[in-house]
Amino acid sequence: MQEKAGNKKKEGVIIEIRAGTGGEEAALFALDLFKMYSRYAQDQGWKQKILDSHLTDLRGYKQVVFELKGEGVFSKLKYEGGVHRVQRIPKTEKSGRIHTSTASVAVLLKPEKTKINIRTEDLKIDFYRASGPGGQYVNKRETAVRITHLPTGLVTTSQTERNQLQNKLNAMAILEAKISEKQELEQMEKFGKKRKSQIGWAKRVEKIRTYNFPQNRITDHRIKKSWYNIEKIMAGRLDPIIKAFKKLKK
């Protein structure tokens, strides 16, 4: 049966962006990627919520985890997972040299509640003080949450909210998505279809895409295709890239 118009299923994804090789510049690039996806999500009419984030002294992201909800969100963003490489003159560079840095992106499909069963006794939950750039405390109460899933060793955190309960819910949402992905990978391996995780080791050689600012070009190495007007794409105009993947996979 076809879905009625206006009653299409809304998907949910959890996106994790981590700074890789390149120190502060990698963290600033992670921030740029977050802004790019945020602006694209806004244009699509999707809802966004930050689940966890860790800032550097220059206000870049060591890590940011956020949720997007909306029509077609996973089908449009599922090819964004992997190591993204940037080539540009960083704000931190005084001599004008071009640097190469990386950030990793993981796109996790948020599972339905009924599909993931996590036992309370399998969780180790710690509370601690949320901190800001440079280790400065931004909250004197222990509102930040760290959850360890003992059977798998997976660890998730959240410190974006001002109360323990909401941070715990955020950390659980991240954990459920990671457990779901782990189960999916294990199923694929059983059938002999192995693949590396999206994040990898965030090394330059594992890149899926290069953002070359001096040449005003973005290149996706998986489909060997380039796009120009990099500032426009970084401002959230991702449709040309997403359409190229959809066309290729048909």
Please give the model's pTM, rounded to 2 decimal places. 0.80
Per-residue pLDDT of 102-114, as tens digits, reads 999 999 988 776 5
Specify the pLDDT at position 16.
95
Q: Which residues of 216-245 are buried (b: 16+ CB within 10 A; e: fewer)?
A: ebbbbeebeeebeebeebbebbbeebbeeb
Per-residue pLDDT of 72-104, as tens digits, reads 999 999 999 999 999 999 877 777 889 999 999
Per-residue pLDDT of 43-54, as tens digits, reads 999 999 999 999
Specify the pLDDT at position 109.
86
Q: Which overall architecture, per CATH, does domain 114-190 show?
A: 2-Layer Sandwich (3.30)
Q: Do you know the residue count of the chain?
A: 250
Which amino acid would we find at residue 23?
G
Specify the pLDDT at position 188.
63
- C-alpha distances out from residue 198 to 9, 14, 31, 82, 106, Å: 25, 13, 19, 5, 6
Return mean pLDDT, the chain. Answer: 85
Q: By CB neighbour count within 10 A (0-12 exposed, 13-18 middle, 19+ buried), where does 64 fall?
A: buried
For residue 233, pLDDT beyond 50: yes
CATH number of 10-113+196-249: 3.30.70.1660
Specify the pLDDT at position 227.
97
Specify the pLDDT at position 158.
92
Specify the pLDDT at position 88.
94
Specify the pLDDT at position 124.
94
Residues 8/82, Cβ–Cβ less than 8 Å:
no
Per-residue pLDDT of 207-221, as tens digits, reads 899 999 999 999 999
Residues 125/168, Cβ–Cβ less than 8 Å:
yes
Per-residue pLDDT of 106-140, as tens digits, reads 999 887 765 778 899 999 999 988 776 654 445 55
- Residues 232-238: what's their mean pLDDT? 96
For residue 226, pLDDT beyond 90: yes
Per-residue pLDDT of 153-210, as tens digits, reads 999 999 988 888 999 999 999 999 999 888 877 776 665 554 444 444 444 457 899 9
Residues 55/144, Cβ–Cβ less than 8 Å:
no
User: Can you give the residue ranges of every domain in the chain?
Assistant: 10-113+196-249, 114-190
